[in-house]
Amino acid sequence: MKSVLYSYFIKNKKNFIIITTIFCIGIMVGILFINNSNETQKNEINTYIQDLTNNIKNLNNINRFEMLCISLKENILFIIVIWFLGCTIIGGVFIYVAILYKGFSLGYTISALIAVLGVRHGALVAITSLLLQNIIFLPAMFIVSENRYKIMW
């Protein structure tokens, strides 16, 4: 199994590099967007995140299963959209836009958390809340995006 995955990634290295580069550009744009926002926008982000964390602290019975189902449904829908776009001729451009959007969202969220909560707490919240779902989602998104080339060629 390991050799099959390794040969798959080596065989499609160029496509994965392009997809990863577009994703990293999205992350950088998200970070720059937060860093270049004015004070009013930063105050709104600060208020939103503080209200969100206070609401989460005050809830005693968080339905984790329901949150998991919602997250899975949204991520699977995103993967299905990318797969469907990969089946069309013009969809390749939109796949790149979707990857750029996902990178922007991730970069924006992480930098907003760090800007509001500080480096230590913001990084901790980002790791605990974003890392687990993206460990599975990002490789799946990259593989589905890369398979677009197999359909086209």
Domain boundaries, the chain: 19-39+62-152
Greater confidence, 50 or 102? 102
Q: Read off the tokens for 117.
A: 């909560």
Give the residue carrying structure tokens 């699977």.
Answer: 76
Task: State pLDDT tens for residues 37-54.
Answer: 888 888 898 898 888 878
Q: Could you give the CA distance from residue 140 to residue 112 in angstroms, rounded to a whole number?
A: 25
Give the residue carrying structure tokens 């390794």.
Answer: 6
Length of the chain: 153
Res 108 pLDDT > 80: yes
Q: How far is CA 55 from CA 34, 59, 61, 102, 148, in A?
A: 23, 6, 12, 26, 41
In the chain, the percentage of residues whose pLDDT exceeds 90 is 21
* CB count in 10 Å sphere of residue 3: 7
Res 149 pLDDT > 80: no
Q: Could you give the CA distance from residue 19 to residue 139 in angstroms, rounded to a whole number?
A: 11
Helix, coil or strand: residue 90: coil
Q: Please report which confidence band the pLDDT of residue 25 belongs to, taking 50, 70 and 90 as the band edges.
A: very high
Average pLDDT of span 112-126? 87
Average pLDDT of span 80-85? 87
Nearest to 138 by CA among 11, 8, 26, 7: 26
With b for 16 or more beta-carbon neighbours within 10 A and e for fewer, the 15-48 pattern comes to: bbeebeebbebbbeebbeebeeeeeeeeeebeee
Greater confidence, 92 or 34? 34
